[in-house]
């Protein structure tokens, strides 16, 4: 059974989508999730030898930027990164694209990862986003990406485990303690109303975090989906933990068996 997430509903106010993404980036920075993904991301770049990597469902885009900042600059300084989203927000797109000579480019148009265009032919990375897809959508992603000979890297900090669920309890607490420092002054009155007086925002963040943990795909499930499509794939997975985040983050690499 798949439950809804507020962050996936188009009907939700744009402020919720905006600050859900801002808080995700805030969590990355505070808890250092992205640093735990560095070995897996570095190995993926080295194994694929790709000159271009595309992140799907980029949101604010800063997670990929943070992750790239930890790489060996002498080894991967020629890699270019495409960011994309099904509903790209102008402020996130413009932040990256104003730096015209940079190695990051945010695609301004809507990109549906289940139906990718031929000119987006490169390995794909999902950072804390793959759990949003239903199994039929995952099947379409596999057809679109693996079917065109490209590799997939799935990075998640939500975990379908007891520690994973317990870690989500920190979300509302962090929101309550840090709202004045994260929210823009012009949005603070309305966000404060729905955080402190009527605590809808922290409760929605908690719900989305718990549901995300429930929807996390493991390597066995993904291998089974690929096999059901008649694809021969290699699936490698790892979990990296830290004292600051004992639930750990996961990394799953999926590639066609004949690419080995």
Are 47 and 107 part of one and the same domain?
A: yes
User: Which pLDDT value is given to residue 115?
Assistant: 85
Residue 165 lies inside a defined structural domain of this protein: no
Residue 1 lies inside a defined structural domain of this protein: yes
52-101 pLDDT per residue, tens: 999 999 988 889 999 999 998 888 989 999 999 998 988 889 988 886 56
User: Which pLDDT value is given to residue 33?
Assistant: 83
148-185 pLDDT per residue, tens: 899 999 999 999 999 999 999 999 999 999 999 999 99
pTM greater than 0.85: yes
Q: Give the 3-state secondary structure of residue 73.
A: helix
Residue 136 lies inside a defined structural domain of this protein: yes
Residue 147 per-residue DSSP state: G
Residue 49 per-residue DSSP state: T
pLDDT of 147 strictly over 70: yes
d(Cα 70, Cα 56) in Å, to the nearest integer? 20
Enumerate the H helices of the chain as residue ranges.
14-31, 33-48, 62-68, 73-76, 90-97, 135-145, 162-168, 170-182, 188-192, 200-214, 219-228
User: Which pLDDT value is given to residue 28?
Assistant: 87
Residue with tokens 């289940």: 114
DSSP string, 200-225: HHHHHHHHHHHHHHHTPPPHHHHHHH
d(Cα 192, Cα 196) in Å, to the nearest integer? 6
Are 225 and 151 part of one and the same domain?
A: yes
Are 135 and 198 part of one and the same domain?
A: no
* Domain housing 21: 1-31+175-214
Are 182 and 243 part of one and the same domain?
A: no
pLDDT of 118 strictly over 80: no
The residue ranking higher by pLDDT, 207 or 25, is 207
Mean pLDDT on 109-119: 84
User: Which pLDDT value is given to residue 71?
Assistant: 93
User: Which pLDDT value is given to residue 244?
Assistant: 85
pLDDT of 258 strictly over 80: no
Are 85 and 195 part of one and the same domain?
A: no
Total number of domains in the chain:
2
Mean pLDDT on 217-239: 96
Are 152 and 231 part of one and the same domain?
A: yes
DSSP string, 176-191: HHHHHHHS-GGGHHHH
User: Which pLDDT value is given to residue 95?
Assistant: 86
Are 124 and 94 part of one and the same domain?
A: yes
User: Which pLDDT value is given to residue 100?
Assistant: 55
């Amino acid at each position: 059974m798949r439950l809804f997430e507020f962050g996936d509903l188009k009907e939700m106010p744009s402020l919720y989508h905006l600050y859900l993404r801002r808080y995700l980036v805030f969590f990355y920075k505070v808890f250092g999730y992205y640093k735990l993904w560095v070995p897996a991301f570095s190995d993926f770049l080295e194994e694929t030898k790709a000159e271009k990597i595309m992140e799907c469902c980029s949101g604010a885009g800063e997670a990929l930027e943070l992750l790239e900042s930890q790489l060996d600059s002498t080894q991967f300084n020629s890699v270019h990164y495409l960011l994309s989203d099904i509903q790209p927000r102008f402020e996130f797109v413009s932040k990256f694209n104003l730096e015209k000579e940079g190695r990051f480019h945010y695609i301004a148009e809507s990109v549906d990862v289940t139906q990718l265009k031929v000119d987006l032919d490169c390995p794909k990375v999902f950072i804390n986003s793959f759990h949003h897809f239903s199994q039929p959508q995952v099947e379409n992603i596999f057809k679109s990406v693996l079917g065109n000979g490209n590799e997939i890297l799935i990075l998640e900090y939500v975990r379908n485990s007891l520690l994973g669920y317990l870690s989500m309890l920190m979300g509302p607490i962090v929101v309550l303690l840090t709202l004045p420092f994260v929210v823009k002054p012009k949005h603070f009155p309305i966000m404060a109303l729905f955080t402190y007086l009527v605590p809808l925002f922290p409760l929605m963040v908690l719900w989305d975090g718990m549901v995300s943990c429930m929807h996390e795909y493991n390597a066995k499930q993904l291998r089974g989906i690929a096999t059901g499509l008649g694809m021969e794939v290699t699936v490698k997975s790892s979990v990296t933990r830290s004292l600051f985040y004992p639930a750990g983050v996961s990394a799953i690499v999926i590639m066609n068996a004949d690419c080995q």
